Every structure is written in structure tokens, then in C-alpha cells.
Amino acid sequence: MRFLNTTLRHIRRSPYQAFAAILIMTVTFVAISLFTFLILGSSRVISYFESKPQVTAFFKDTAKQENIRALEDQLRASGKVSKMHFVSKNEALKIYRQQNKNDPLLLDLVTADILPASLEISTYKIEDLASVYSMIKQSSFVQEVIFQKDVVSSLTSWTNSLRKIGIALVVVLSIVSVFIMITIIGIRISQKKDEIEIVRLLGASGWYIRWPFIFEGILYGVIGAFFAWIISSAILLYETPFLESFLKGIPILPVSYIFLLEVLGAELVLAILLGVFASFIAVLRYLK
Amino acid sequence: MIKLDKVSKKFGNGGIALSEVTLSIDRGEFVFFVGRTGSGKTTLFRLLIREFFPSEGSIIVGDFDLGNLPNYKIPHLRRKVGVVFQNLKLLSDRTIFENIVLPLEVSGFKDRDAHKRTEEIMQELGLSEHRDKFPIQLSGGELQRAAIARALVLSPEILLADEPTGNLDPKTGEEILDLLMDINKKGTTVIMATHNDVMVNKFAKRVISLEKGKIIKDQKKGKYEIS
């Protein structure tokens, strides 16, 4: 408590330095939060696509039940298919109605006749998709084949790039924050040189002198991370309606408050580590 | 209580502050260190609180052998030796109360006990009315009293007072000296560095005279005899 009081007195007496330290920590943690949301969100989108049928064959209206069954048998015999699901014209209409239940105009215009029956197929291995795709393509009863591999792989490559950019940006910002904090705490130590000398002569131990500066680093980190969490959570919650319509059908939004609290917890731990690291370096460097 | 054996202190620039100083001070003594500016009085004090090591010789203060004292034990030594510094070293941005309570805080006393002891010592030294004033608001004598109060708040076994009357008028200086005598009567070993001949001659106390870092006289009931 005594150390915390000393820390608060330091901050009160030079508020602009404290403001600069908190600001840089806030910027760093806003970047960390937003990239965390983006990376976790895109991973969930990929998982969603991966869990969906990877190849969908849409049949011509002329295709009969036995033709479809023959194709199913042929695919099953290949040993590559893990799951198959036949969607009839009526089921397709149900799905269509469910997806467009808020748009009566679209519902009025569509009947089961104009929707094709389809077969949704998943393979054990992603590399078998190509051979399954060509097997289906050869069938004369198939109108069109949708192949999800491209969607998943391009999403995966986007996410990987995003992750790399995010990690690089966060690392650079963290390094900058640490250097700024070292400088600010170093300035504080220099300003308090006489006071430090006096308390030393009065019998203060090394840790009695160091703790307030280490608390200061922790405090900057924690306050910065907390502000950043408020800002980034507010952005996410504000943009949720837009993102929900953009990611139509992919159930990742709205995010739960528990998830946001988990992010806050992780960020506070990281902030404390960064704060302790920066202030410890400053104390080692300037308090010999 | 304090033993110095052939203690010398040379500084990096080649200057010799102390040269082969040997002396012994018993518990409860009152000793004047006299000598001109630069004779080595302050260096001796700084050696006694292990601000630095002697270049040669050994120093024992109470139970502490300063030559072999690990750094982590220096705070323990400094809590046993109260110091009234020549330039007082009061913190200008803290009140008199906050300055005096500081040694108790750094020693880990609980707030309640520390505050009680500080109030006591302030009352004893007539500083209670200045409790919440800042050093800039006090006179020279009052500041000196505040510095003495801070040095005494931990009830040290030894009190080092470096020129405590240096910037004071004769009457205030006398008051400060009477105060140090009272402290000594209560059992604290007091060592006072001064070049105030009137004060030294008024009391028949031990006088150690220093010149150019050497002890030139050590008299049990001495006089100020520096030319």
C-alpha cells in the first residue's frame, strides 16, 4: 500500500509522462485486441467451412432416384467419402425459406420446382476432393458441382497472412512500448535521484526504492490494457450488426461476454508482464 | 562501540581525505570532531555509515565490521546510526511530519506505530506546531531540529551530527547543542563535527582534532585548539 502511494505520487507529479506511457500501452493493446478478434474470428470461419460439405453436386431435373443412388454407390465404393447427404427439392426449399425468412419477396417467387436436388459430400482427406470432384463431374445427371476446397484454402492463406501481419505489428508495438516505458521510468528515477540518495542514507533497502518504479510499470500496463479492451470491445459490439449481415449464416456473432472477459484477463496478464519487464530493465539500468 | 584502526581514504583524483586514523569511542560518549573545512570530518562520518569503503584499515561500528559488511546489511547499519547531515537532506516536497516519519517507513514500521513515534519525537523537539509545514516554511534552527528529529526517530545507538550549528546564530546554535547534550544524557553516543570554538570550549567533552586527514590531538576534556 505504501509502495502504491509512492507510485501514485510519482504519477501525480508528472502526469504527462504517465499519460504518454498509458497511451502507448493503450495503442499496443488495441492492436492486440483487434488482431485477436480477427484471428480467432477467421479461424472460426474456416472451421465452419471445413465442417460443411466439401463438394456439393446439383442434379439436373431429369435425374431419377436410381441414377442418384448409383452415383452414391459409386462414391461409397471409392472408400474416400466420409459422409453423404441427399437434399431433395423440398428440403432445398425448406433451407431456402429458412435462410430468407425475413424477405417475403424472395419467398414468394421460389417454389420447389426451380430448386435442384443435391448431394452433399465430405471426404476423409482434403486431397481426395479432386478425384471425388472429377468422379461426380463425369456423371451425365449432374448439372453443377461446387467445390469448397478453394474457399477453405484461400481463407486459410488469408488467415495465415493476417496472423503474420498481426504478430509482427504486435511485436513491434510491444517493443516500442517497452522502450518508451523504460525511458519514462528512467526519467522518473533521474528526477528522484536526490530523494533516492536520501532514503538510502536513512536505511532504505534496495527493494524499498525499486518497488514503486516496478508498480509504476505495472500500473501503466494495466491501465493501458484496460482502456484498450474497452475501446476494442466497444468497436466489436458496435460493428456486430454489420458483421452479422456480412457473415450471413456463419454462427460466430455476437461474441459472448465471457469471451470478452477472457480476452481482458489474458491482456491484463500480458500487460503486467510487459510492465514488470520494462520497469525492471529501467531499474537495473538507472538504479545501480 | 566505534573502532577505527589505521583507516585511510584516498579518492580517485589522488586526494587523501584521511590518513591512518586510529580511534575508539565508547558507548554513551559525547565527542567533538574539530578541524578546518577539508580536514576529513565529513569523510569520517561517511565512512561510518558505509557510504564508501576505506582505502585501508578497518572500521567497526557496534556489531558491524564495515569492511566485511554485505550490501544487503547496509540498511541495518544505517538504522542504528542516526545522521544529521551538513546540508540536512530534508525532502523539500514533503512536510516536516513526512520527513521525520521516513526512517520508520523505510524500516518497515506499521503506519500506526510510525505515526505515534513521530508525533512523540516532534513533541519532544518542539516541532508539533510545524507538523504540516514544508521545509521552506521553517527557520534554520527549526530545520536543524527537524533533521535531528529524523535522525533520532529510530532511537539509534549512535548519532552523527555534521556541523549542526554551522548556519545558525549563536543563540540557536547553543539551543541545538543543549539538545544534543540532552540526547547524550539519555544514553545515545553523540559525535558532532564542528569548527565552532565557542561551543566546543563551553563543554568539557572529548575533542578529537583533525588536520589534513590526520588526528593531531585527542583530549578527554578538550578545547578547540585549531589555529
**pLDDT by position in tens, chain A (length 288):** 677 777 887 788 778 888 888 998 899 899 889 888 888 888 887 777 766 667 888 888 888 888 888 888 888 888 888 888 888 888 888 888 887 777 777 777 777 778 888 888 887 776 677 788 888 888 888 888 887 666 667 777 777 888 888 889 888 888 988 898 899 889 888 888 888 999 999 989 888 889 889 999 999 999 999 999 999 999 998 988 888 877 776 777 778 889 899 999 999 999 999 999 999 999 888 877
**Cα gap B32→A142, rounded to integer Å:** 113
Which chain A residue has its CA at the smallest distance from B150's CA? A202
For chain A, what's the residue count?
A: 288
Residues of chain B in contact with residue A203, where contact means CB-CB under 8 angstroms, are 75-79, 103, 106-107, 154
Looking at residue A148, its pLDDT comes to: 67
Looking at residue A53, its pLDDT comes to: 64
Please tell me the number of Cα atoms within 13 Å of A146 on its side-chain side.
13
Give a yes or no: residue B225 inside a domain.
no
Q: Are B33 and B191 in contact (CB under 8 A)?
A: yes
Give a yes or no: residue B205 inside a domain.
yes
State whether A203 and B154 contact (CB < 8 Å): yes
ipTM of the modeled complex: 0.87
Three-state SS letters, chain A: CHHHHHHHHHHHHCHHHHHHHHHHHHHHHHHHHHHHHHHHHHHHHHHHHHHCCCEEEEECCCCCHHHHHHHHHHHHHCCCEEEEEEECHHHHHHHHHHHCCCCHHHHHHCCHHHCCCEEEEEECCHHHHHHHHHHHHCCCCEEEEEECHHHHHHHHHHHHHHHHHHHHHHHHHHHHHHHHHHHHHHHHHHHCHHHHHHHHHCCCCHHHHHHHHHHHHHHHHHHHHHHHHHHHHHHHHHHHHHHHHHCCCCCCCCCCHHHHHHHHHHHHHHHHHHHHHHHHHHHHHHCC
Pairing relationship of beta strands B81-84 and B64-65 according to DSSP bridges:
unpaired
Using alpha carbons, select from B155, B132, B130 the residue that is nearest to residue B143. B130
List residues bridging with B16 in a β-sheet. Answer: B10
Closest chain B C-alpha to A205 CA, distance in angstroms:
6
Per-residue b/e over A22-54, b at no fewer than 16 CB within 10 Å? Answer: bebbbbbbbbbbbbbbebebbebbbebbeeebb
Looking at residue B146, its pLDDT comes to: 94
Residues of chain A in contact with residue B111, where contact means CB-CB under 8 angstroms, are 2
**Cα gap A209→A199, rounded to integer Å:** 8
**Cα gap B211→B207, rounded to integer Å:** 13
Using alpha carbons, select from A132, A126, A125 the residue that is nearest to residue A151. A126
Residues of chain B in contact with residue A195, where contact means CB-CB under 8 angstroms, are 91
State whether B102 and A208 contact (CB < 8 Å): no
Looking at residue A66, its pLDDT comes to: 84
List residues bridging with B33 in a β-sheet. Answer: B193, B208
**Cα gap A124→A119, rounded to integer Å:** 16
Burial class (CB in 10 A: 0-12, 13-18, 19+), B210: buried
Using beta carbons and an 8 Å cutoff, which residues of B are at the interface with A? 49, 51, 71-72, 75-79, 83, 85, 89, 91, 93, 102-103, 105-107, 111, 150, 154
Q: Which domain holds residue B86?
A: 2-91+156-219
Using alpha carbons, select from B38, B41, B59, B63 the residue that is nearest to residue B50. B59
Residues of chain A in contact with residue B78, where contact means CB-CB under 8 angstroms, are 201-203
Residues of chain A in contact with residue B106, where contact means CB-CB under 8 angstroms, are 199, 202-205, 208
Which chain A residue has its CA at the smallest distance from B73's CA? A205
**Cα gap B59→B53, rounded to integer Å:** 9
B124: cell is 519532544
Give a yes or no: residue B140 inside a domain.
no
Looking at residue A72, its pLDDT comes to: 86
- Domains of chain A (ranges plus CATH)? 2-49+153-286 (no CATH), 53-147 (3.30.70.3040)
Which of B74, B90, B104, B111 to mutate to probe the A interface, most A CBs <10 Å?
A: B74
Using alpha carbons, select from A18, A1, A4 the residue that is nearest to residue A188. A18
Looking at residue B64, its pLDDT comes to: 92
Looking at residue A35, its pLDDT comes to: 86
Which of A1, A202, A209, A211 to mutate to probe the B interface, most B CBs <10 Å?
A: A202
Q: How many domains does chain B have?
A: 1
- CATH number of the structural domain spanning residue B19: 3.40.50.300
State whether A202 and B102 contact (CB < 8 Å): yes
Residues of chain A in contact with residue B101, where contact means CB-CB under 8 angstroms, are none
State whether A195 and B91 contact (CB < 8 Å): yes
Which chain B residue has its CA at the smallest distance from A201's CA? B78
**Cα gap A248→B111, rounded to integer Å:** 62
A107: cell is 419467398
Residues of chain B in contact with residue A208, where contact means CB-CB under 8 angstroms, are 106
Closest chain B C-alpha to A40 CA, distance in angstroms:
48
**Cα gap B59→A71, rounded to integer Å:** 101
Give a yes or no: residue B25 inside a domain.
yes
Closest chain B C-alpha to A190 CA, distance in angstroms:
15
Q: Which amino acid is at A44?
A: R
pTM: 0.71
**Cα gap A36→A228, rounded to integer Å:** 12
Give a yes or no: residue B201 inside a domain.
yes
A119: cell is 448431394
Residues of chain A in contact with residue B154, where contact means CB-CB under 8 angstroms, are 203
**What value does the CA radius of gyration of chain B take, rounded to a whole number of Å?**
17
Please tell me the number of Cα atoms within 13 Å of A166 on its side-chain side.
19
Q: Which residues of chain B are modeled with pLDDT < 70?
A: 227
Residues of chain A in contact with residue B105, where contact means CB-CB under 8 angstroms, are 2
Which of B102, B113, B115, B158 to mutate to probe the A interface, most A CBs <10 Å?
A: B102
Pick A203's closest partner by Cβ from B51, B75, B89. B75
A88: cell is 431433395
Residues of chain A in contact with residue B77, where contact means CB-CB under 8 angstroms, are 203
Which chain A residue has its CA at the smallest distance from B106's CA? A204
For chains A and B, what is the number of CB pairs under 8 angstroms?
37
State whether A201 and B85 contact (CB < 8 Å): yes
Q: Please report how the helices A149-191 and A15-51 are oriented relative to each other, as an axis angle in degrees rounded to 10.
A: 170
pLDDT in tens, B86-108: 889 999 989 999 999 999 999 88
